[in-house]
Structure 1
C-alpha cells in the first residue's frame, strides 16, 4: 500500500437516507459494518487503505446520522446496500453486516469484483455444528428473555459473542446507542444465506475469522465450504479481526489485488 494517506472524507446521503462516508482514490471498496459501531468509525483501522482504494463506508439505518427505519433488519438493509453498489465494487462486511452484505450482493452478482466476509452471525448455515448450536440457542434465549436494563442486555450479549474480551467498564457512546435499540433487533440467525447464487458467482471470496469463539469458526468454515473462496484467520482482536489494523489490511489488500 502507498505511503500517502488520503484523509479527506466526503459525506453524503445514500439510499434510504443512509449516511455514507467516502475517502481515498482508486477502486471502490464498500464496507458494511456489524452491530454496535457503524459507519466510518467501525472501519477506522482501515483508513490507511485510502492511499490505494476508494473506501465507501456506510452507516446502516439507526447508526450515526442515518435515520432509524424501525428495528434492525438485515433484509431491509440489504436492499439499501444493493442500491448503493456500483459495477466493479469490492464488498467487505462484518458480523450482522455479513448477512446484509451477502443478501445485497446476491441481488446482482455481476456487479461485484470480490466479497470479504468477516465473522458472520448467520448461524442457520451451520446448525449441525455443536458449537454453533450452543451459540445459537444462547443468543436466542437472551433475546427471548432479556434483562430490563439496556446496558446489561448488551454486556450479556457480548459475553456470548466474545467471551474472552469483555466490554469496557464505561460504554463508548456508539455502544450505548446500540444498547438502546437492541430490543428491536432481527437476529442474523434468521438469515438464509443464498448459497447457490453466491457459490456460482464468478467474483472472489475471502472468509475471515479471529479464532476466539468456536461458533464463529464453525460458521466461517461452513461459509467457505459452501460459497467457495479463500479462508483466513487473523488473531488478536476477537470478534473484530479488522481491528488488528495492519495485519488485516495487508491481507485484504493482497486479496483485492490478486
Structure 2
C-alpha cells in the first residue's frame, strides 16, 4: 500500500474523505470545505501523481480507489469531484461497509450514461481529442479538453509545475472508459448524493442516469462551475444536510 500525502482539517466529528479530480489538488479542490473543520474530520488525499504523493506513469482509477479505501478507516463519509467522483464510487463499491454516505460531483462516468445523446456526444468528443492531440503539448491539450467540457478557464503560461504535472496525468486518463459499478452501488444501503453545475450537458446525462440507477438524491446548482464544491456555502449546506441525515439513520 502506497501512503498518500493528505490534507487534514478538523480533529473531531464524523470522518469525511474528499477526493480531488484531474486538474486540481487536494488543497485547491476543497478550499471552500475547510470551514467545515469545526464539525468534521476532513481528510483530502493527493492522488498518485499529484505531489507530494508518489508519482505515477499513468492514472489508474481502480488503484486510486484502493488507496481511498485505506483512508476510510472504520467508517467515513466519502466525497469525490470530477475524476475523484469516479474514484470515490469505485472505492465505495470495494468497501461499502466502510462508507457512511457518498457524494459525487460531476463524475465523468461516461459509460454509465451510454445511450443518452449528450453523454454519447461528450464521450466521442473526448475520445477523439485524446487520440488526436499531442500529449507533450500540455497547454494545447488542456485547453482543448476544457473547451469540450465548456469550462472557461484561462491557463497560465508558462504552466506552473503543479498544473503541468496535473495535465500530464490527465493525458494518461481515458474518461470515455471510466464507468462505475452501478449494480454494486445500487445494492448498498448508504445514502447517495449526485451534484452537477449545469455547464456540461454530457455530465448532466451521466448524473441523471446514475441518480436513477442508484436511487440517489440529485441536485443541480445551475450556473455553477464543473467543480461545484467551489461555490461554497450552498454546496456545503447540502453536504451537511446529507451527512447529518446519514448519521441520524445510523443511530
- Give yes or no for the alignment of 1:235 onto 2:199: no
Match in the other structure for 1:200: 187
Match in the other structure for 1:179: 167
Please state how far the C-alpha of 1:230 moved relative to its aligned partner.
Answer: 0.7
Match in the other structure for 2:144: 156
The answer to whether the 8 Å contact 2:126/2:175 transfers is no
Match in the other structure for 1:22: 8
Q: 1:196 to 1:17 in 2, by over 3 A?
A: same
The answer to whether the 8 Å contact 1:36/1:174 transfers is no
More divergent stretch after superposition (15-24 vs 239-248): 15-24
Please state how far the C-alpha of 1:38 moved relative to its aligned partner.
Answer: 1.5
- Give yes or no for the alignment of 1:209 onto 2:196: yes
The answer to whether the 8 Å contact 2:139/2:155 transfers is no
* Structure 2 spans left out of the alignment, 5+ residues: 246-251
Match in the other structure for 2:239: 252
Q: 2:126 aligns with which of 133, 139, 156?
A: 139
- Give yes or no for the alignment of 1:74 onto 2:61: yes
Q: Spell out, residue by residue over 1:217-245, the C-alpha distance to the aligned partner (whole angstroms, 9 max, x if none).
A: 00011110011121101134321110001
The answer to whether the 8 Å contact 1:95/1:118 transfers is yes
Q: Spell out, residue by residue over 1:171-223, the C-alpha distance to the aligned partner (whole angstroms, 9 max, x if none).
A: 5553232123333x232332332112111111000000001111110001111
Please state how far the C-alpha of 1:247 moved relative to its aligned partner.
Answer: 0.9
Q: 1:95-174, aligned counterparts within 5 Å?
A: 95-147=82-134, 148-161=136-149, 163-170=150-157, 171=159, 173-174=161-162
The answer to whether the 8 Å contact 1:209/1:233 transfers is yes
TM-score norm. by structure 1 comes to 0.89
The answer to whether the 8 Å contact 1:74/1:188 transfers is no
* Matched length: 242
Please state how far the C-alpha of 1:169 moved relative to its aligned partner.
Answer: 4.6
Structure 1 vs Structure 2 CA RMSD: 1.6
Q: 1:241 to 1:16 in 2, by over 3 A?
A: same
Q: 1:164 to 1:73 in 2, by over 3 A?
A: closer
Tell me the SS of whatever aligns to 1:36. Answer: coil
Please state how far the C-alpha of 1:164 moved relative to its aligned partner.
Answer: 4.9
Match in the other structure for 1:34: 21
- Give yes or no for the alignment of 1:63 onto 2:50: yes
